Structure 1
Amino acid sequence: MYTAVLIKGKTYAVMGHVFLLNQVKEIEKKVFQYLDGNEFFNCTEVKAPVDDSKTDDQPKEDDKPVEEEEEPQQEQKIYTETELKDMKKDGQEAVIVDLGGDPSEFKNEGERIAFILENQEQQEKTGE
């Protein structure tokens, strides 16, 4: 697994990802390779924890299931219309990308907000 953090500038869009300043995003290896060494990013390769279950049948007290640590990152924030109206265009576009949309398809703020609200509802109903 790889992560990247935008450390300079406000936003940066590359290979289907929109980065906001100081936001940690999981990325694919090819995006990592492209961004690694870019002065605007801090890129890291996150190593998977070593599986000690073969040598030790009893879990240690400080062992935590991996799902507990990763779950908050995967949770999608639900935005209200007011929050979306208070956002700048680049923030709205970042939310659209996170929802699987293409920001270039929208002509104005109203269309962006309508897309976000509609897709959030659909994801809540399907449990994604």
Structure 2
Amino acid sequence: MYTAELIKGKTYSVMGHVFLLNQEKEIEKKVFQYLNGNEFFDCKQLDVPADDPKTDDQTKEKPSEEEKEPQQEQKIYTESELKGMNKTEQEAIVIDLGGDPSQLKDKSERIAFILEHQQQQEKTGE
């Protein structure tokens, strides 16, 4: 697993990820390789022991991931909260919900997308 944290600047968008200052995000290996060494980022490779992925993934790893993910992804935003955010913050949420901000024309479409996808995730339990 790889993570990156923007340590300089306000926002940075690369390979479908929008980074906000001082917010650590889990990234893919190719994004890690691209950003590692960039002075604007603190990149980390978190080593997983060879035995864990298959054996312990089912017993130990999944509960800890389930504990981490709800803290980040189950934040439910209200329409008024979303209206108070800037474009970059809204786009980061759209990306976290699996959307493509470039397909949304304006603030109202971003807000509608976020509200709709939050409701879908609540129903599916994600």
TM-score band (shorter)? 0.7 to 0.9
Q: Helix, strand or coil: the match of 2:65?
A: helix
Specify the code of the residue in structure 2 equivalent to 1:6.
Answer: L
1:30 partnered with 2:48: no
| Mapping of residues 82-93 of structure 1, within 5 Å | 82-93=80-91
TM-score by length of 1: 0.83
- Counterparts of 1:107 and 1:79 in 2: how far apart (Å)? 20
**Which structure has the highest helix share of the two?**
2
Match of 1:115 among 102, 110, 113: 113
Q: Per-residue displacement from partner, 1:75-122 (whole Å, max 9, x unpaired)? A: 211111111011111000000011111111122111110010001001
TM-score by length of 2: 0.84
- Specify whether residues 73 and 11 from structure 1 end up closer, same or farther in structure 2 by C-alpha distance, changes over 3 A only: farther
5+ residue gaps, structure 1, are: 53-64
- Counterparts of 2:83 and 2:37 in 1: how far apart (Å)? 35
| Mapping of residues 10-89 of structure 1, within 5 Å | 10-49=10-49, 65-75=60-70, 76=73, 77-89=75-87
Q: Helix, strand or coil: the match of 2:90?
A: helix
Aligned length: 117
Question: Larger Cα Rg: Structure 1 or Structure 2?
Answer: 1
5+ residue gaps, structure 2, are: 53-59
Q: Per-residue displacement from partner, 1:21-58 (whole Å, max 9, x unpaired)? A: 11111111111000000011000101125759xxxxxx
Match of 2:93 among 92, 95, 105: 95
- Counterparts of 1:41 and 1:68 in 2: how far apart (Å)? 29
Q: Helix, strand or coil: the match of 2:18?
A: strand
Specify the code of the residue in structure 1 equivalent to 2:35.
Answer: L
Stretches of 4+ moved more than 2 A in 1? Answer: 49-52, 65-73
Alignment root-mean-square deviation, CA: 1.9
Residue 56 (structure 1) aligns with: none
